[in-house]
Amino acid sequence: MAKQYDILVRLLMIGDSGVGKTCMLCRFTEEGFIQPHLTTIGIDFKMKNMVLDDKRIKVQVWDTAGQERYNTITAQYFRRAQGIMVIYDITSETSFLNSQKWLRMVSENGCDDIEKLLVGNKSDAKSLRTVSREEGQKFADHHEMGFIETSAHSDTNIEEAFTVLVKQVMRKRKKSIDRQMANIRLYNTEDSIDLADESLINKDKSLCC
């Protein structure tokens, strides 16, 4: 059977338990908002097809458990991911401060050039907010990553968050391909002989047939 997509993109969702990772993923895959739901045990994943720049993209999203006892299990998935979404709860300062810990795990276990996006979830709970948008943006800028606030409950910016990260991955992929093609062209140019260059003809008679 013909492959139903052109490119496979692997994303990983990380963050403290209870920040809304599973709810965000269910919204993204159009399964709706699940409440209440069971805490993710270990790791789970879902798929969704997207079309960007005329490319059919299959997005594979891994939803990790936030509990520390599962860190050994989830760490092995970091290196396979092309993009990582670091998620905190805007009503929980602790989950925001722990974003530093999660980024450290990315640094220790992920690829050097992995794309990252900081996400402040539960933006609908304005009266319970303890982390300002400015704090989130400042943290993201300091770590040179994108930033967006979302709400799985009201389905705000969920599609946008995943799309932003997929686009980052696609841009990195295109740059890598362009760089490889440039190196191939350079290699071919250096190793080729211009047959029209008369200075190379009959310079050494012993080389002539």
Task: For residues 24-37, give the mean pLDDT.
Answer: 75
Please report, as a single letter, which amino acid is at residue 145: M
**What pLDDT is recorded for position 42?**
56
Q: Please name the residues in contact with 205: beta carbons below 8 A apart, sequence gap of 6 or more.
A: none
For strands 83-89 and 55-64, give the pairing. unpaired
Task: For residues 131-152, give the mean pLDDT.
Answer: 97
**What pLDDT is recorded for position 200?**
44
Is pLDDT at 76 greater than 90 in this prediction? Answer: no
Neighbour count for residue 73 (Cβ, 10 Å): 13
The tens digit of pLDDT for each residue in 149-176 reads 999 999 999 999 999 999 999 999 888 7
What does the mean pLDDT of the chain come to?
A: 83
Q: Which two tokens stand for residue 19?
A: 């920040």
| Domains observed in the chain | 7-180 (3.40.50.300)
Q: Which residues does residue 64 pair with via DSSP β-bridges, in sequence order? A: 43
Q: Please tell me what DSSP assigns to residue 90.
A: T
Q: Which residues does residue 120 pair with via DSSP β-bridges, in sequence order? A: 88, 149
Query: CA–CA separation, 50 vs 58, rounded Å?
Result: 6
pTM of the model: 0.80
Task: For residues 19-36, give the mean pLDDT.
Answer: 81
Chain centroid offset of residue 62 CA? 11
**What pLDDT is recorded for position 128?**
97
The tens digit of pLDDT for each residue in 93-120 reads 999 999 999 999 899 888 888 999 999 9
Cis peptide, bond prior to residue 36, ω within 30 of zero: yes
**What pLDDT is recorded for position 71?**
57
Is pLDDT at 23 greater than 50 in this prediction? Answer: yes
Is pLDDT at 30 greater than 50 in this prediction? Answer: yes
